[in-house]
Structure 1
Amino acid sequence: MCAKAFPPPSDFFDTVLAFPFPQIAYATSKRISTLLKTRVIEPNPDELFDYEAFAAAGKCIIEPAQDVYSYERCSYPQPEWSEDEPWRRNDNADDDSHKYRAAAAGNAVTTQVIGWNTVDWNDEHLTLVVLNLTDSFSNDTKHVFIAAKNGVAERFLLAVTDFSRNMTDRIWSFQDGRFTADRRLYTDIQTSTFDNLILANNMAAEIKSDLELFFASSQLYKRLNIPWKRGVLLTGPPGNGKTHLIKALVNHFKQQHPTIAILYIKTFTASCAPDDYAIRTVFKRARARPCIVIFEDLDALVKPDVRSAFLNELDGLSANNGVVVVASTNHPEELDSAIRDRPSRFDRRWAFELPGEVERLSYLKKWFSAREFDTPPSDEAMKEVAGALTAGFSFAYLKELALGTTLQSVRLEGGDGGEAGKQGAMDKLLMEQAGVLGMHVKKAREEDAGGSGEGKSGWRGKKWRKHVAGR
């Protein structure tokens, strides 16, 4: 149990929250210091300071003070869908979408929004005050104040920060003007690896090797007096592996090179700050340590009014030592030439084109071999389908082909004839699905060739690229 701490006044938070919004944090820190007669420090907002995970790992004990009101928020994480427990079935529901309800009991997660806490850590006693504030723009800011004597607060801060830095199950993502440690994003990349990525000419291995060599060559760059930074631009129509490659890179570096930070930028737009401020915030964090910064759909992120700010941070006076920028775009022609064509900004451009016959066959074989089928399509059928029947298909369309075939087989297995279990039935289904999807591709090509007169660089060209990509 935590040692008895100085009991704060019961109206402590009523008092500090009565100050004007910009003064609340200062007033809170000053009042804590006055009450405890000790120094108060606050973690750097640019660092991850997950004291709750630190306590959950048994590194310390944190208990809310009983003498002051503590405001907590309760939530229920959404579990994966399943017909088994912990889901409860409701067979009286009017439609299938409501037949399964989450069994929430025992799954609640409580987060302290406002509270005064006592902390026991390494036989030392601290006070930790939590204050989540929401401004008039609905932006949340979390303040954590640590109070203790004789340098204990500083040592505790360093211990929690070091622990937080070494947590591998989160990725820093940037949205609405601030960084958050995103566990869901980390979970989403776990199935994306270089083993299940198919690209022509060994391109995936070359990109991975290029970045690993960069991070291993800091001394060489220094000796040759070359700026230790790198930019990689992935281009091509959607659905052809750019996002998969980015996820595989993040997954690989998180597992094999955990000291290299990963920053995933969702948007520069913020409700309470201009976009150029957000851009400066991103690159300030990137320069703190060797890292990879991810910009997906760069043409949508960098708008004309922030192009200058982006260029200044990407290749301006500030040294981006140890920073790798990995960006993707479906429409490189829409990027400013100053971003797209200058090597010091993006040193390498990799084109992700529609897969050829060899890649289409490899994809189908890998997809069906990774799943359990009593009678999967034969190699001969997959080879035939990977030829002229799927010319012009993106990887996204190939996935739809494989998935559609699988769903059709499941449907037929439930029918009277059990057709999907017969020899050659999967071959037939695969070819039928390829024919259906091929008609969609052909129709899109005809629409693209016959319509607006704008050609492939105009609206119909973009429509065609998206259509072929299966989006």
Structure 2
Amino acid sequence: MTAGSLANRPAPSHNETARQYYEHSAAPRVNTDAVIVEALRAEYPNLHLTVVPRQTCNLFAYTGAGHASMASIDKEKDRLSWRVFMPPASRLGGQRGALGDNIKFGKYLLDWQGKEYVMCYAEGRDGMSSFPQVANQYVLSASVEATNKLLFEAGAWTSELHNEIWVFDGGFWQKDAALYASVQKSHWEDVILDEDMKKGIIADVETFFSSQDTYEKLRVPWKRGVIYYGPPGNGKTISIKAMMNQLYKRDPVVPTLYVKSLSSFGGPEYSINQIFSLARRTAPCYLIFEDLDSMITDAVRSYFLNAVDGIAKNDGILMVGSTNHLDRLDPGIAKRPSRFDRKYLFPNPNTDERAAYMKYWQGKLSDNEDLEFPDKLCPAVAKITPGFSFAYLQEAMVASLLAIARERDGFAERLCLNCLESHGQPDDGARCAKDSKRPCKGLYDWVWTVKQADEEDPDLDNYVLWREIKKQVRLLKEELGEEKGER
């Protein structure tokens, strides 16, 4: 069937706006917005019409939050929506999800502060591309002033965060409530760092957001940049999240803008413009670039530097860029003080910091009466884990706890500490015949380190947690050794 025959077929008994929408959808189109406006003006000649993009003023979300009420006023045959299944965020607790409507075209009566408005919503095309672009709300009322008041309040609400964090990914900003909830669980007490360094990071950020007057008196721009660098798994991300949590408790709140990537249909230059436009509107704010070295490539470097240090003002913006590879950053970013003024190294933890991390785990497991975790286990584990990052220490602990849980459930395999394979021989300390076949035998003199720790305190082997940690540490040592060999 041709487009022309579709357009000339008898129209169903819809209202005029619905008839125009369906007729328009079944024929070559130019601009959906113009068609809807013309139809609504014909259907409601005595009401004032305002076209409102949903992106900047979301009336559905505004009414859904309880600030107004909304009810459908069109017939089911005049409405277009998708019935979609929304899976649960988690299946725990027996949740199975829910059904919802994805509205494409519909008409509603909106009640706000005692005044009524007709609101039509339609998705369509803008005439310039082959896929839907327009998602507009068409508000009709008897008073221009009443409409403007509604749109101002709804627009202001839409632009604000409500227990959310701005996240830039895929070329646009979106509000992320899940990240906000995660940040609320991040505290500086959970961050194991050199105490002087931790205090310095906190003071650096807090002082900046409290010193606007000082910057103005000194006639210097009120902006700052910080780089967190070092091998992965040593606290860069948790430090950022702990700082985000602290800033959300300030009065007034300092919001966070979190950049995951610069990829977008408009290119990285478009993304950088979008990022700094919102940051300038939101300032004072905390602007995070995760894995900065992977974002700022040669192709986009000059555009980024101009956004950071160009003509436009960045007052009130504190940027933090994290990287595992400082050497990959352009010197214009890493070494230019007016862009990133301070750099903090997050190295692999020393012996005392590893012991402190185990002490942290001891506190987390303090209410577990089935697991013995004596104080002397903390320095013992620290002693046998030189070169471990906090992430590797965590992996050793989690793997050990899971192994203990499996053993108590009757699903454990007998693992030989010498060859790291499962077999029937009891692990009684005797050498294993398969040990000589191991490709990474004797890494870091690990066996002797463990032996020395055991000799210093022969009672250590009485603790199941110590026995499991020894196995997991040796497995991770093999992994570390293979990585170093590849490099």
> Normalising by the residue count of structure 1, what TM-score does the alignment of the two structures yield?
0.80
Answering whether residue 212 of structure 2 is matched by residue 173 of structure 1, we say no
Answering whether residue 312 of structure 2 is matched by residue 312 of structure 1, we say no
Alpha-carbon separation, structure 1, partners of 2:130 and 2:392: 41
Alpha-carbon separation, structure 1, partners of 2:297 and 2:151: 39
Alpha-carbon separation, structure 2, partners of 1:19 and 1:147: 27
Answering whether residue 448 of structure 2 is matched by residue 428 of structure 1, we say no
What SS does the aligned partner of 1:191 have? coil
Query: Over residues 99-152 of structure 1, what are the superposed CA-to-partner deviations in whole Å (9 max), with x where a residue is unaligned?
Result: xxx533xx3343434322220011011223333457868686643333332312
**1:336 corresponds to:** 330
- Which structure has more relative contact order (CA 8 Å, sep 6+)? It is 1
What SS does the aligned partner of 1:233 have? strand
Q: Which among 377, 384, 392 is matched to residue 381 of structure 1? A: 377
**1:115 corresponds to:** 106
CA contact (8 A) 1:29 1:40 kept: no
Answering whether residue 444 of structure 2 is matched by residue 438 of structure 1, we say no
Runs of 5+ unmatched residues, structure 2: 1-14, 415-460
Alpha-carbon separation, structure 2, partners of 1:123 and 1:27: 31
Alpha-carbon separation, structure 2, partners of 1:377 and 1:223: 55
- 1:213-252 alignment, distance < 5 Å: 213-252=207-246
- 1:394-413 alignment, distance < 5 Å: 394-413=389-408
Alpha-carbon separation, structure 1, partners of 2:29 and 2:247: 41
What one-letter code is carried by the residue in structure 1 that aligns with 2:85?
Answer: S
Work out the percentage of aligned pairs sharing the same amino acid: 28
Change (3 A) 1:114 1:428: same
Answering whether residue 115 of structure 2 is matched by residue 124 of structure 1, we say yes
Answering whether residue 38 of structure 2 is matched by residue 38 of structure 1, we say no
Q: Which moved more, 1:363-372 or 1:159-168?
A: 159-168
Alpha-carbon separation, structure 2, partners of 1:69 and 1:206: 59
Give the CA deviation at 1:356.
1.1
Alpha-carbon separation, structure 2, partners of 1:279 and 1:258: 27
Answering whether residue 284 of structure 2 is matched by residue 288 of structure 1, we say no
CA contact (8 A) 2:87 2:96 kept: no
Change (3 A) 1:137 1:179: farther
Alpha-carbon separation, structure 2, partners of 1:190 and 1:331: 29
**2:185 corresponds to:** 191
- Radius of gyration: which is bigger? 2
CA contact (8 A) 2:209 2:316 kept: yes
Q: Which among 131, 144, 151 is matched to residue 137 of structure 2? A: 144
Alpha-carbon separation, structure 2, partners of 1:362 and 1:444: 26
What one-letter code is carried by the residue in structure 2 that aligns with 1:146?
Answer: V
Alpha-carbon separation, structure 2, partners of 1:276 and 1:41: 30
**1:61 corresponds to:** 69
What SS does the aligned partner of 2:139 have? strand
CA contact (8 A) 2:216 2:222 kept: yes
> Normalising by the residue count of structure 2, what TM-score does the alignment of the two structures yield?
0.77
What one-letter code is carried by the residue in structure 2 that aligns with 1:383?
Answer: P
Alpha-carbon separation, structure 1, partners of 2:138 and 2:289: 34
Give the CA deviation at 1:384.
0.9
Change (3 A) 1:171 1:309: same
CA contact (8 A) 1:377 1:430 kept: no
Change (3 A) 1:125 1:15: farther
Answering whether residue 272 of structure 2 is matched by residue 279 of structure 1, we say yes
Change (3 A) 1:262 1:414: same
CA contact (8 A) 1:70 1:116 kept: no
Change (3 A) 1:416 1:50: closer
Q: Which among 12, 32, 43 is matched to residue 24 of structure 1? A: 32
**Number of equivalent positions:** 416
CA contact (8 A) 2:165 2:257 kept: yes
Alpha-carbon separation, structure 2, partners of 1:224 and 1:356: 40
Give the CA deviation at 1:423.
5.7
